[in-house]
């Protein structure tokens, strides 16, 4: 897929305060991010066609927040076309309230995402911010019958499958946490890569915990290639592309 260049747009830039216990992020600019134009304007068909060339498509709640109603409709249509051609859909709830005009708009968009997803990754924090209430996890279980990976606040996740599997998978404690940036993204990456490689959900969750533990032991979101766990080393030849 070719990438368009646009001299009038700027990539989103975040600055993290590494000395802050909460590692607070400050957005320097993101209102002109090129990603915002992908589906908010009628798009050339090559992007929609390219999406169908992958085994799995992954997006998050932040993706949904980039577009208006028309853009989200185009985005969901592209997902539907890809899914009809065999692609699986993975959705990370990753809810950030400030990205949405109001709760009902967010709820409607998330319901559409949950309805399409084959795999849903969410945290109890995301769900509480999105739905409120004492037991927001149950809202997800009602909305979606997908493969659900619920990250819990006590360094564990709950796997819920349509076949009846409902299991908590605990993470091993990390000896020294340096920087928690990208911990959730790292978990999702290892989980999805493992599932695509044929691992069962519990093994994939263990892989997600392992990679997240390595990432938080290093400063920044990008770890040295030499630190990558062996099962995710590029030499394994995994690409994620659909094989002809």
pLDDT at position 106: 95
Range of the domain at 136: 41-152
Query: Are 122 and 191 found together in one domain?
Result: no
**Could you tell me if 145 and 53 lie in one domain?**
yes
Per-residue pLDDT, averaged over 55-82, amounts to: 92
For 104-142, the three-class secondary structure string (H helix, E strand, C coil) is HHHHHHHHHHHHHCCEEEEEHHHHHHHHCCCCHHHHHHH
pTM of the predicted model as reported, rounded to 2 decimal places: 0.82
Q: Is residue 57 part of a domain?
A: yes
Domain boundary among 152, 167, 190: 152
Q: Assess whether 63 and 146 both reside in one domain.
A: yes
86: domain CATH number is 3.40.1190.20
80-121 pLDDT tens trace = 999 999 999 999 999 999 889 999 999 999 999 999 999 999
Verify that 135 and 53 share a domain, yes or no. Answer: yes
* Total number of domains in the chain: 2
Condensed to tens digits (0 to 9), the pLDDT of residues 204-228 reads 999 999 999 999 998 888 888 888 8
The full length of the chain comes to 244
Give mean pLDDT, residues 17-37: 57
Instruction: Tell me if 23 is assigned to some domain.
Output: no
Task: Clarify whether residues 45 and 137 are in a common domain.
Answer: yes
Distance, in Å, from the CA atom of 221 to the CA atom of 5, rounded to the nearest integer, reads: 25
> Could you give the residue numbers annotated as active site?
185
- Measured at the CA of 94, the angle between CA 88 and CA 99, to 5 degrees, comes to 120
Q: Give the tens place of pLDDT for each residue, 129-175.
A: 998 877 777 777 776 678 999 999 888 999 999 888 999 999 999 98
**Dihedral angle sign, alpha carbons of residues 141, 116, 234, 200:** positive
């Amino acid at each position: 897929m070719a990438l368009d260049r646009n001299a009038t747009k700027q990539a989103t830039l975040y600055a993290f305060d590494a000395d802050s216990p909460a590692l607070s992020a400050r957005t320097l600019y993101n209102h002109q991010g090129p990603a915002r134009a992908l589906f908010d304007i009628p798009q050339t068909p090559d992007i929609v066609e390219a999406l169908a060339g992958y085994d799995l498509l992954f997006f998050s709640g932040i993706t949904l927040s980039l577009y208006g109603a028309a853009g989200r409709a185009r985005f969901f249509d592209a997902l539907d076309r890809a899914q009809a051609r065999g692609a699986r859909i993975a959705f990370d709830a990753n809810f950030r309230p400030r990205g949405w005009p109001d709760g009902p708009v967010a709820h409607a968009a998330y319901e559409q995402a949950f309805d399409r997803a084959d795999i849903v990754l969410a945290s109890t924090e995301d769900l509480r911010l999105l739905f409120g209430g004492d037991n927001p996890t149950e809202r997800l279980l009602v909305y979606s019958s997908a493969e659900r990976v619920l990250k819990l606040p006590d360094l564990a996740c709950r796997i819920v499958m349509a076949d009846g599997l409902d299991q908590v998978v605990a993470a091993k404690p990390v000896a020294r946490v340096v920087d928690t940036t990208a911990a959730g993204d790292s978990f999702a990456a290892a989980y999805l890569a493992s599932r695509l490689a044929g691992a069962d959900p519990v093994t994939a969750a263990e892989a997600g915990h392992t990679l997240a533990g390595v990432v938080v032991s290093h400063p920044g979101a990008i770890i040295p290639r030499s630190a990558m766990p062996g099962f995710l080393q590029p030499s394994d030849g995994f690409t994620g592309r659909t094989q002809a």
